[in-house]
Amino acid sequence: MSSSVRETLVRLVREPLVHFVLIGAVLFYIGGQKAAEGPRNEIVVTEGDIDQMLLSWQVQGMPPPSAAAIRGMVEAKIREEVLYREAIAMGLDQDDVIVKRRLAQKMDFLAEDLSALQEPTAEELRGWFESRRDDFAQPPRISFRHVYYSFDTHGKDARAAAAREVAVAAGPGNGDRFMFQNAYAERTEAELLAVFGPAFARDVFALQPGHWTGPLESGYGWHAVFVESKTPSSVPVFEEVEDQVKAAYLDARRAEFREEAYRVMREKYEVVLPKFDGPEATPSAPVREQGGDEAS
């Protein structure tokens, strides 16, 4: 929706604008008398500004603008600036939750912009990786064959049929045609989940290799399973995952910096809160809380 709220906003902004025009007309009349005495507000549009407008026009793949179009762009810019300054002068930005959040969001972006400027060295990355190698471990994998007894053809008897299959240690050729594959090689739990559902994907790893076993239930029926082999979890060497390590490192740096920057700013403020113990408590005397990032 991108836009239900955006549309609401537009509507909300429009309403103050209506007020603005009315109030502004009054203020303009009053202010007009005074303006003659003081220095006038200046809006300077430089050649550079116009070049930039043209550039942005071109970048959008538009044909070169006509002189009238350029005048229109300049006029629009001036208009925007005038309305913006007047709105600020009238304090329309105060206590506007949208303006507040937008500015707060910009601060977060700035923090991230800044933190991204520092490239980690290979040594830093390697050291960081070594201290948390387990986090980069590869999941275990399994290879197996199976014979399928579908609910569609066997209904409630599917389990018993699959169990008989296990008992006689049969191979493919019996059972129902499975709509995907009869054998899977080197699969992770996540990959098997997408095919069989979560219970089967989890339980198949507990089966012993080398003989027909089960049966296991999937979302489709029951399966006799022959596990060929299992590959345990392994930890890669740095070179194999260097790119991922770097991405994780930068993510961590970014979040860290954002919090650190917030902490520094937070320290400048004294926060006054009502006292409350829980949802049932009624606010009583306010409590004061000095800066610091771990208020909770």
Give, as ranges, the residues between 102 and 131 that touch another protein (CB under 8 A): 102-115, 117-118
* Segment lying near another protein (by CB under 8 A), choices 27-35, 68-76, 90-98, 222-230: 90-98
As measured in angstroms, the least distance from the Cβ of 111 to another protein is 6
Place of tokens 């399928």: 148
Q: Which of 184, 212, 220, 222 binds another protein (CB under 8 A)?
A: 220
Given its phi and psi angles, is residue 214 left (phi above 0), alpha (psi -120 to 50 degrees) or beta? left
Q: Which of 19, 71, 263, 275 binds another protein (CB under 8 A)?
A: 263
Burial environment of residue 176 by CB neighbours within 10 A (0 to 12, 13 to 18, 19 or more): middle
* Segment lying near another protein (by CB under 8 A), choices 33-41, 204-212, 239-247, 280-288: 239-247
Give, as ranges, the residues between 10 and 49 that touch another protein (CB under 8 A): 10-11, 48
As beta bridge partners, residue 145 has 183, 226
Measured CA to CA in angstroms, residue 15 lies from 9, 25, 55, 225 at distances of 10, 16, 34, 68
Burial environment of residue 272 by CB neighbours within 10 A (0 to 12, 13 to 18, 19 or more): exposed
> Which residue spans within 109-220 are E strands per DSSP?
141-150, 183-187, 212-217
As measured in angstroms, the least distance from the Cβ of 193 to another protein is 6
Cis status of the peptide bond prior to 215, with omega within 30 of 0: yes
Measured CA to CA in angstroms, residue 53 lies from 11, 207, 294 at distances of 28, 67, 45
As measured in angstroms, the least distance from the Cβ of 101 to another protein is 6
As measured in angstroms, the least distance from the Cβ of 209 to another protein is 19
# chain residues binding another protein, by CB under 8 A: 84
| AA letter at 88 | I
Binding mask 42-81 for another protein (x = CB under 8 A): ------x---xx-xx--xxx--------------------
215 forms part of the interface with another protein (CB under 8 A): no
1 forms part of the interface with another protein (CB under 8 A): yes
* Segment lying near another protein (by CB under 8 A), choices 1-9, 68-76, 160-168, 274-282: 1-9
Taken as a whole, the chain contains a residue count of: 296
* Segment lying near another protein (by CB under 8 A), choices 27-35, 67-75, 92-100, 282-290: 92-100
